[in-house]
Amino acid sequence: MVLVEPPEISSPFKTWLASLGRDGSAALAAGEVYGSLSPDERDAWLDAVASDLGPAGVAHRGVAAAYAPLLAHEEDPVRRERILGEISRAGLGGEVGVMKAFMGAGRFSFERLPCSIIVLLRGLAFDLSEALVCAVTEEADGERIRAATYLGLASAVEAERVALEMGAPCTLSPVDPREATDKIAHGIWSDARRGREPFADLTAAAHFFAPEPATP
């Protein structure tokens, strides 16, 4: 496997890494391969990426493409901190973890229930974000989460497409991220109080509701 290739040998892995910034589908595929690896293999992957990008590095878009897709498949806090640190050192850190939120009024799926469609975007680099899309209805005892989709890596356009699939077409307008996260949190609390199981995608996006570890 190219990950264990001695550093003195010209690395096909390095050539491939450099191409990721020009090929979005390849970057997404890299994230999927990374997600299939064991913890030790993931550490080896990160070692190889750091070595092959080297001190001189590659274009910032290449760094983003090499690292950002990995976050979609990484839950370990130590490895996440390492990945975010590499993005930050490439001069892209200002975009990492920046939260944006959009909200619109729609009707949930075939039930046609009035609902709020919420899109949370947690910035990675350039136009790449982690996204959480939720449909929240108002119940007699409070908000209820009707649908939740976590996208480990997506553009704002892709997240909006998922949002509109949850309900009738609606206009999504920017809102304070705290307002959006509070509404989702109230829905989670109300569902828990009523004994409803949380959506798995909400669990996957739990880090949206807490800051990432500080990066150098």
Instruction: Tell me the pLDDT tens digit for each residue of 5-52.
Output: 433 334 566 666 666 656 666 777 788 889 899 999 999 999 988 887
**Contact call for residues 31 and 70 (beta carbons, < 8 A):** yes
Helix (H) or strand (E) holding 52: helix 39-53
Band (pLDDT 50/70/90 cuts) for residue 213 is very low
Token duo for residue 169: 């077409």
- Residue 4: the pLDDT is 38
Instruction: Tell me the pLDDT tens digit for each residue of 133-150.
Output: 999 988 877 789 999 999
- Residue 184: the pLDDT is 93
- Residue 40: the pLDDT is 94
Band (pLDDT 50/70/90 cuts) for residue 91 is low
- Residue 176: the pLDDT is 94
Report the chain's mean pLDDT, rounded to a whole number: 78
DSSP β-ladder status, 113-125 and 142-154: unpaired
Query: Got the DSSP string for 83-139?
Result: HHHHHIIIIIGGGTT-EEEEEEEEEEGGGTEEEEEEEEEEEEETTEEEEEEEEEEEE
Q: Is residue 212 pLDDT above 80, yes or no?
A: no
